[in-house]
Amino acid sequence: MPDLAVPWAGLRLATPIVVGASPLTDDLDSLKECEAAGAGAVVMHSLFEEQIIAEQMAAHRFIDSHVDMDAEARTFLPESSVFNLGAKPYLDRLRLLRERLKIPVIASLNGTSLGSWAHLASDLASAGAAAIELNLYDVATSFTMSGSQLEAGQLLLVSSVVRATRVPVIVKLSPFYSSLPAFVRELEKMGVRGIVVFNRFYQPNVDLEALDVSRDLPLSTSAELPLRLHACAILAGRTQLELGVTGGVHSGDDAARAILCGASITQVVSALLQNGPGHVRTIIAGLESRLEMLGYRSATEACGALSLQRAPDPHAWERLNYARMLQSWLPRRGSYMRLDERL
Ligand SMILES: Cc1cc2nc3c(=O)[nH]c(=O)nc-3n(C[C@H](O)[C@H](O)[C@H](O)COP(=O)(O)O)c2cc1C
Protein backbone atom coordinates (compact mmCIF):
# COMPACT_ATOMS: atom_id res chain seq x y z
CA MET A 1 0.00 0.00 0.00
CA PRO A 2 1.27 3.53 -0.70
CA ASP A 3 2.85 5.41 2.19
CA LEU A 4 0.40 8.14 3.20
CA ALA A 5 2.67 10.10 5.57
CA VAL A 6 2.87 13.74 4.54
CA PRO A 7 4.57 16.94 5.66
CA TRP A 8 2.19 19.67 6.73
CA ALA A 9 3.43 23.11 7.69
CA GLY A 10 6.39 21.85 9.66
CA LEU A 11 4.53 18.83 11.08
CA ARG A 12 4.69 15.24 9.93
CA LEU A 13 1.23 13.67 9.63
CA ALA A 14 0.60 9.93 9.38
CA THR A 15 -2.07 10.54 6.71
CA PRO A 16 -3.24 13.53 4.66
CA ILE A 17 -6.82 13.29 5.97
CA VAL A 18 -7.31 16.06 8.52
CA VAL A 19 -10.50 16.69 10.50
CA GLY A 20 -11.34 20.30 9.60
CA ALA A 21 -12.57 23.04 11.93
CA SER A 22 -16.09 22.15 13.01
CA PRO A 23 -18.33 21.33 16.00
CA LEU A 24 -16.53 17.96 16.15
CA THR A 25 -14.06 19.78 18.41
CA ASP A 26 -16.71 19.58 21.13
CA ASP A 27 -17.04 15.81 20.85
CA LEU A 28 -13.97 14.05 22.20
CA ASP A 29 -15.33 10.57 21.50
CA SER A 30 -15.88 11.38 17.83
CA LEU A 31 -12.39 12.84 17.57
CA LYS A 32 -10.91 9.72 19.13
CA GLU A 33 -12.83 7.67 16.55
CA CYS A 34 -11.42 9.88 13.77
CA GLU A 35 -7.95 9.32 15.18
CA ALA A 36 -8.47 5.55 15.37
CA ALA A 37 -9.75 5.61 11.78
CA GLY A 38 -6.49 7.22 10.65
CA ALA A 39 -6.98 11.01 10.68
CA GLY A 40 -3.61 12.76 10.45
CA ALA A 41 -4.53 15.78 12.59
CA VAL A 42 -7.50 17.76 13.85
CA VAL A 43 -8.28 21.45 13.54
CA MET A 44 -10.35 22.92 16.37
CA HIS A 45 -13.32 25.14 15.64
CA SER A 46 -12.39 28.80 15.56
CA LEU A 47 -11.78 31.21 18.36
CA PHE A 48 -13.25 34.40 16.94
CA GLU A 49 -11.80 37.89 17.22
CA GLU A 50 -15.29 39.03 18.25
CA GLN A 51 -15.32 36.63 21.23
CA ILE A 52 -12.09 38.07 22.56
CA ILE A 53 -12.99 41.69 21.94
CA ALA A 54 -16.40 41.20 23.55
CA GLU A 55 -14.74 39.89 26.69
CA GLN A 56 -12.30 42.80 26.73
CA MET A 57 -15.19 45.27 26.38
CA ALA A 58 -17.21 43.53 29.08
CA ALA A 59 -14.22 43.81 31.44
CA HIS A 60 -13.89 47.47 30.53
CA ARG A 61 -17.53 48.13 31.34
CA PHE A 62 -17.14 46.37 34.64
CA ILE A 63 -14.14 48.51 35.60
CA ASP A 64 -15.74 51.77 34.57
CA SER A 65 -19.50 51.63 34.87
CA HIS A 66 -19.74 55.05 33.22
CA VAL A 67 -18.40 53.61 30.00
CA ASP A 68 -21.12 51.80 28.13
CA MET A 69 -21.50 50.82 24.56
CA ASP A 70 -24.19 52.43 22.50
CA ALA A 71 -26.76 50.23 20.85
CA GLU A 72 -24.97 50.32 17.51
CA ALA A 73 -21.66 49.14 18.94
CA ARG A 74 -23.46 46.37 20.79
CA THR A 75 -24.78 44.86 17.54
CA PHE A 76 -21.22 44.07 16.42
CA LEU A 77 -20.59 41.90 19.42
CA PRO A 78 -21.64 38.29 19.75
CA GLU A 79 -24.38 37.26 22.13
CA SER A 80 -22.97 35.26 24.99
CA SER A 81 -25.74 32.69 24.45
CA VAL A 82 -24.22 31.89 21.06
CA PHE A 83 -20.57 32.41 21.79
CA ASN A 84 -18.37 31.68 24.76
CA LEU A 85 -16.83 35.01 25.62
CA GLY A 86 -13.10 35.05 26.04
CA ALA A 87 -10.37 32.59 25.31
CA LYS A 88 -10.34 30.55 28.53
CA PRO A 89 -12.89 27.85 27.53
CA TYR A 90 -11.07 27.49 24.22
CA LEU A 91 -7.67 27.13 25.87
CA ASP A 92 -9.10 24.58 28.33
CA ARG A 93 -10.57 22.57 25.46
CA LEU A 94 -7.28 22.69 23.59
CA ARG A 95 -5.39 21.39 26.64
CA LEU A 96 -7.90 18.54 27.00
CA LEU A 97 -7.69 17.52 23.34
CA ARG A 98 -3.91 17.71 23.47
CA GLU A 99 -3.92 15.43 26.49
CA ARG A 100 -6.37 12.86 25.10
CA LEU A 101 -5.34 12.68 21.44
CA LYS A 102 -2.10 11.47 19.94
CA ILE A 103 -2.49 13.27 16.63
CA PRO A 104 -1.53 16.96 16.37
CA VAL A 105 -4.20 19.45 17.41
CA ILE A 106 -4.25 22.64 15.35
CA ALA A 107 -5.94 25.69 16.88
CA SER A 108 -7.96 28.08 14.72
CA LEU A 109 -8.03 31.84 15.10
CA ASN A 110 -10.64 33.67 13.09
CA GLY A 111 -10.51 37.41 12.52
CA THR A 112 -9.89 40.28 10.17
CA SER A 113 -8.57 43.28 12.06
CA LEU A 114 -5.27 44.05 13.63
CA GLY A 115 -5.46 44.16 17.40
CA SER A 116 -4.25 42.75 20.67
CA TRP A 117 -6.50 39.69 20.19
CA ALA A 118 -3.94 38.33 17.69
CA HIS A 119 -1.42 37.87 20.52
CA LEU A 120 -3.55 34.97 21.72
CA ALA A 121 -1.61 32.96 19.18
CA SER A 122 1.13 32.71 21.79
CA ASP A 123 -1.30 31.38 24.47
CA LEU A 124 -2.59 28.80 21.99
CA ALA A 125 0.95 27.56 21.40
CA SER A 126 1.59 27.38 25.16
CA ALA A 127 -1.62 25.37 25.60
CA GLY A 128 -0.29 22.77 23.17
CA ALA A 129 -1.42 23.79 19.68
CA ALA A 130 0.85 22.10 17.15
CA ALA A 131 0.10 24.90 14.70
CA ILE A 132 -2.32 27.79 14.28
CA GLU A 133 -4.73 28.05 11.40
CA LEU A 134 -5.66 31.68 10.89
CA ASN A 135 -8.98 32.04 9.09
CA LEU A 136 -9.22 35.35 7.21
CA TYR A 137 -12.97 35.21 6.55
CA ASP A 138 -13.65 38.72 5.33
CA VAL A 139 -16.55 40.04 3.27
CA ALA A 140 -15.98 43.44 1.68
CA THR A 141 -18.90 45.75 2.49
CA SER A 142 -17.22 49.16 2.23
CA PHE A 143 -17.47 51.26 -0.93
CA THR A 144 -14.30 53.14 -0.02
CA MET A 145 -11.86 50.39 0.89
CA SER A 146 -10.14 48.96 -2.18
CA GLY A 147 -9.14 45.35 -2.61
CA SER A 148 -5.48 46.20 -2.15
CA GLN A 149 -6.19 48.11 1.08
CA LEU A 150 -8.17 45.17 2.38
CA GLU A 151 -5.38 42.75 1.49
CA ALA A 152 -2.76 45.01 3.06
CA GLY A 153 -4.78 44.90 6.31
CA GLN A 154 -4.96 41.12 6.14
CA LEU A 155 -1.20 40.89 5.64
CA LEU A 156 -0.58 43.08 8.69
CA LEU A 157 -2.78 40.78 10.74
CA VAL A 158 -1.01 37.67 9.44
CA SER A 159 2.36 39.15 10.25
CA SER A 160 1.27 40.02 13.81
CA VAL A 161 0.09 36.43 14.37
CA VAL A 162 3.30 34.96 12.91
CA ARG A 163 5.38 37.25 15.16
CA ALA A 164 3.30 36.37 18.23
CA THR A 165 3.93 32.63 18.12
CA ARG A 166 6.67 30.06 17.73
CA VAL A 167 4.42 27.38 16.17
CA PRO A 168 3.75 27.18 12.42
CA VAL A 169 1.02 29.46 11.08
CA ILE A 170 -1.33 28.26 8.36
CA VAL A 171 -3.73 30.68 6.65
CA LYS A 172 -7.22 29.64 5.54
CA LEU A 173 -8.17 31.77 2.56
CA SER A 174 -11.21 32.75 0.59
CA PRO A 175 -11.25 32.31 -3.20
CA PHE A 176 -11.79 36.01 -3.87
CA TYR A 177 -8.38 37.51 -4.57
CA SER A 178 -7.65 39.24 -7.87
CA SER A 179 -4.31 37.43 -7.83
CA LEU A 180 -4.16 34.49 -5.46
CA PRO A 181 -0.53 33.68 -6.44
CA ALA A 182 0.63 37.23 -5.62
CA PHE A 183 -1.15 37.21 -2.24
CA VAL A 184 0.32 33.79 -1.48
CA ARG A 185 3.80 35.10 -2.31
CA GLU A 186 3.29 37.85 0.32
CA LEU A 187 2.22 35.26 2.90
CA GLU A 188 5.31 33.26 2.09
CA LYS A 189 7.53 36.29 2.75
CA MET A 190 5.92 36.67 6.17
CA GLY A 191 6.88 33.20 7.30
CA VAL A 192 3.49 31.49 6.89
CA ARG A 193 4.01 27.72 6.44
CA GLY A 194 0.87 26.57 4.69
CA ILE A 195 -2.41 27.74 3.18
CA VAL A 196 -5.80 26.10 3.14
CA VAL A 197 -8.08 26.73 0.16
CA PHE A 198 -10.90 27.74 0.47
CA ASN A 199 -13.36 29.03 3.02
CA ARG A 200 -16.93 28.19 2.06
CA PHE A 201 -18.80 31.43 2.10
CA TYR A 202 -21.82 31.72 4.27
CA GLN A 203 -24.50 32.67 1.76
CA PRO A 204 -27.72 33.48 3.55
CA ASN A 205 -30.83 33.01 1.50
CA VAL A 206 -34.12 34.87 1.83
CA ASP A 207 -36.93 33.11 3.64
CA LEU A 208 -40.03 34.33 1.81
CA GLU A 209 -42.41 33.01 4.47
CA ALA A 210 -40.70 34.68 7.40
CA LEU A 211 -39.46 37.62 5.29
CA ASP A 212 -36.13 37.21 6.95
CA VAL A 213 -32.70 35.82 6.28
CA SER A 214 -32.50 32.04 6.53
CA ARG A 215 -29.42 30.96 8.41
CA ASP A 216 -29.14 27.35 7.28
CA LEU A 217 -25.64 26.08 6.73
CA PRO A 218 -25.93 23.47 4.00
CA LEU A 219 -23.19 20.86 4.04
CA SER A 220 -20.93 20.61 1.01
CA THR A 221 -20.90 18.16 -1.86
CA SER A 222 -17.98 17.05 -4.05
CA ALA A 223 -19.15 19.64 -6.61
CA GLU A 224 -17.28 22.24 -4.55
CA LEU A 225 -13.96 20.52 -5.02
CA PRO A 226 -12.89 21.66 -8.53
CA LEU A 227 -12.53 25.32 -7.46
CA ARG A 228 -9.94 24.14 -4.90
CA LEU A 229 -8.26 21.73 -7.34
CA HIS A 230 -7.80 24.54 -9.79
CA ALA A 231 -6.15 26.81 -7.20
CA CYS A 232 -3.80 24.04 -6.04
CA ALA A 233 -2.83 23.22 -9.62
CA ILE A 234 -1.90 26.87 -10.19
CA LEU A 235 0.09 27.24 -6.96
CA ALA A 236 1.76 23.84 -6.53
CA GLY A 237 5.50 23.76 -6.95
CA ARG A 238 5.64 27.52 -7.45
CA THR A 239 5.43 28.48 -3.79
CA GLN A 240 7.32 27.24 -0.74
CA LEU A 241 4.02 27.04 1.15
CA GLU A 242 2.36 23.69 1.57
CA LEU A 243 -1.20 23.51 0.29
CA GLY A 244 -4.27 22.12 1.98
CA VAL A 245 -7.77 21.72 0.57
CA THR A 246 -10.99 22.26 2.47
CA GLY A 247 -14.36 22.10 0.77
CA GLY A 248 -15.89 19.19 -1.10
CA VAL A 249 -13.66 16.28 -0.02
CA HIS A 250 -16.09 13.39 0.51
CA SER A 251 -14.26 10.32 -0.81
CA GLY A 252 -10.83 8.78 -1.32
CA ASP A 253 -10.99 9.80 -4.96
CA ASP A 254 -11.67 13.42 -3.96
CA ALA A 255 -8.59 13.33 -1.73
CA ALA A 256 -6.55 11.74 -4.55
CA ARG A 257 -7.63 14.51 -6.93
CA ALA A 258 -6.53 17.18 -4.44
CA ILE A 259 -3.15 15.50 -3.87
CA LEU A 260 -2.53 15.09 -7.60
CA CYS A 261 -3.22 18.81 -8.03
CA GLY A 262 -0.65 19.66 -5.34
CA ALA A 263 -2.34 19.50 -1.93
CA SER A 264 -0.32 18.01 0.91
CA ILE A 265 -3.43 17.50 3.02
CA THR A 266 -7.19 17.55 2.65
CA GLN A 267 -9.54 18.59 5.41
CA VAL A 268 -12.90 16.90 5.83
CA VAL A 269 -15.97 18.19 7.69
CA SER A 270 -19.29 17.73 5.86
CA ALA A 271 -18.56 14.10 4.99
CA LEU A 272 -17.90 13.34 8.67
CA LEU A 273 -20.99 15.21 9.87
CA GLN A 274 -23.05 13.21 7.35
CA ASN A 275 -21.47 9.76 7.69
CA GLY A 276 -19.83 9.76 11.12
CA PRO A 277 -16.18 9.70 12.18
CA GLY A 278 -15.64 6.16 10.81
CA HIS A 279 -15.88 7.69 7.33
CA VAL A 280 -12.23 8.75 7.73
CA ARG A 281 -11.35 5.05 7.30
CA THR A 282 -13.40 4.82 4.08
CA ILE A 283 -11.69 7.91 2.64
CA ILE A 284 -8.24 6.60 3.52
CA ALA A 285 -8.96 3.16 2.02
CA GLY A 286 -10.24 4.82 -1.16
CA LEU A 287 -7.18 7.06 -1.36
CA GLU A 288 -4.78 4.17 -0.85
CA SER A 289 -6.37 2.03 -3.52
CA ARG A 290 -6.54 4.93 -6.00
CA LEU A 291 -2.87 5.83 -5.52
CA GLU A 292 -1.90 2.18 -5.82
CA MET A 293 -3.96 1.81 -9.00
CA LEU A 294 -2.13 4.83 -10.44
CA GLY A 295 1.23 3.30 -9.55
CA TYR A 296 2.31 5.75 -6.84
CA ARG A 297 4.37 4.47 -3.93
CA SER A 298 3.46 7.39 -1.68
CA ALA A 299 1.21 10.41 -1.32
CA THR A 300 4.24 12.69 -1.59
CA GLU A 301 5.19 11.10 -4.91
CA ALA A 302 1.68 11.78 -6.27
CA CYS A 303 1.60 15.33 -4.88
CA GLY A 304 1.40 17.86 -7.70
CA ALA A 305 1.61 15.35 -10.56
CA LEU A 306 -1.28 17.19 -12.25
CA SER A 307 -0.23 20.73 -11.34
CA LEU A 308 0.59 23.45 -13.82
CA GLN A 309 4.19 23.52 -12.61
CA ARG A 310 5.47 22.07 -15.83
CA ALA A 311 3.23 24.13 -18.11
CA PRO A 312 5.56 26.57 -19.90
CA ASP A 313 2.91 29.31 -19.81
CA PRO A 314 0.20 28.64 -17.17
CA HIS A 315 -1.75 31.75 -18.18
CA ALA A 316 -1.95 30.68 -21.84
CA TRP A 317 -2.87 27.15 -20.71
CA GLU A 318 -5.75 28.54 -18.63
CA ARG A 319 -7.06 30.69 -21.51
CA LEU A 320 -6.80 27.88 -23.99
CA ASN A 321 -8.62 25.42 -21.79
CA TYR A 322 -11.35 27.95 -21.11
CA ALA A 323 -11.84 28.64 -24.81
CA ARG A 324 -11.72 24.93 -25.62
CA MET A 325 -14.38 24.08 -23.06
CA LEU A 326 -16.78 26.72 -24.35
CA GLN A 327 -16.16 25.92 -27.99
CA SER A 328 -16.46 22.17 -27.67
CA TRP A 329 -19.74 22.17 -25.76
CA LEU A 330 -22.26 19.84 -27.36
CA PRO A 331 -25.85 19.37 -26.22
CA ARG A 332 -26.52 16.03 -24.57
CA ARG A 333 -29.23 13.74 -25.90
CA GLY A 334 -32.56 15.03 -24.65
CA SER A 335 -31.21 18.55 -24.18
CA TYR A 336 -33.85 21.14 -25.00
CA MET A 337 -31.57 22.88 -27.48
CA ARG A 338 -31.07 21.42 -30.92
CA LEU A 339 -27.57 21.62 -32.37
CA ASP A 340 -28.72 23.46 -35.48
CA GLU A 341 -30.37 26.09 -33.25
CA ARG A 342 -27.09 26.58 -31.45
CA LEU A 343 -25.12 27.17 -34.66
C1 LIG B 1 -21.12 23.33 11.32
C2 LIG B 1 -19.82 23.85 10.81
C3 LIG B 1 -19.00 24.63 11.62
C4 LIG B 1 -17.80 25.13 11.13
N5 LIG B 1 -16.99 25.89 11.96
C6 LIG B 1 -15.82 26.38 11.48
C7 LIG B 1 -14.96 27.16 12.31
O8 LIG B 1 -15.22 27.38 13.50
N9 LIG B 1 -13.84 27.65 11.75
C10 LIG B 1 -13.48 27.43 10.45
O11 LIG B 1 -12.42 27.89 10.01
N12 LIG B 1 -14.27 26.69 9.64
C13 LIG B 1 -15.41 26.17 10.13
N14 LIG B 1 -16.21 25.42 9.31
C15 LIG B 1 -15.81 25.21 7.90
C16 LIG B 1 -15.10 23.87 7.73
O17 LIG B 1 -13.88 23.83 8.47
C18 LIG B 1 -14.75 23.58 6.26
O19 LIG B 1 -13.84 24.54 5.78
C20 LIG B 1 -15.98 23.59 5.36
O21 LIG B 1 -17.07 22.92 5.95
C22 LIG B 1 -15.66 22.94 4.03
O23 LIG B 1 -15.26 21.61 4.18
P24 LIG B 1 -16.26 20.37 3.90
O25 LIG B 1 -16.65 20.43 2.48
O26 LIG B 1 -15.41 19.16 4.22
O27 LIG B 1 -17.42 20.54 4.81
C28 LIG B 1 -17.41 24.87 9.79
C29 LIG B 1 -18.23 24.07 8.99
C30 LIG B 1 -19.41 23.56 9.47
C31 LIG B 1 -20.25 22.70 8.57
Q: How confident is residue 114, by pLDDT bands cut at 50, 70 and 90?
A: confident
Distance 249 CA to ligand 1 centre (A): 12
Mean pLDDT of 96-105: 98
Distance 269 CA to ligand 1 centre (A): 6
On whether residue 325 sits in a domain, the answer given is no
Could you give the number of structural domains in the chain? 1
Q: How confident is residue 56, by pLDDT bands cut at 50, 70 and 90?
A: low
Q: For residue range 228-263, what is the model confidence (pLDDT) as tens digits?
A: 999 999 999 999 999 999 999 999 999 999 999 999
Distance 199 CA to ligand 1 centre (A): 8
Distance 244 CA to ligand 1 centre (A): 14
Containing 45, the helix (H) or strand (E) segment is strand 41-48
On whether residue 296 sits in a domain, the answer given is yes
Residue 295 confidence (pLDDT) above 70: yes
Measured between alpha carbons, how far is 188 from 47 in angstroms, rounded to an integer? 24
Q: Taking Cα atoms as reference points, which of 124, 58, 116 lies closest to residue 90?
A: 124
On whether residue 72 sits in a domain, the answer given is yes
State whether residue 2 is helix, strand or coil.
Answer: coil
- Which residue range(s) make up the domain with 215? 6-312
Domain with 195 in it: what CATH number? Answer: 3.20.20.70
Q: For residue range 11-40, what is the model confidence (pLDDT) as tens digits?
A: 999 999 999 999 998 999 999 999 999 999
Using CB distances shorter than 6 Å, the residues near ligand 1 are 20-23, 45-46, 108, 110, 135, 172, 200, 217, 219-220, 246-249, 268-271
On whether residue 1 sits in a domain, the answer given is no
Distance 82 CA to ligand 1 centre (A): 17
Q: For residue range 116-126, what is the model confidence (pLDDT) as tens digits?
A: 788 899 999 99
On whether residue 237 sits in a domain, the answer given is yes
Residue 66 confidence (pLDDT) above 60: no
Whether pTM > 0.75 for this model: the answer is yes
Give, for ligand 1, the residue of 17, 22, 265 to mutate: max count of ligand atoms closer than 8 Å to Cβ.
Answer: 22
- The pLDDT of residue 57 is 65
Q: How confident is residue 63, by pLDDT bands cut at 50, 70 and 90?
A: very low
Q: Taking Cα atoms as reference points, which of 51, 54, 203 lies closest to residue 139?
A: 203
Mean pLDDT of 64-78: 48
- The residue nearest atom 30 of ligand 1, judged by CA position, is 22
Residue 334 confidence (pLDDT) above 80: no
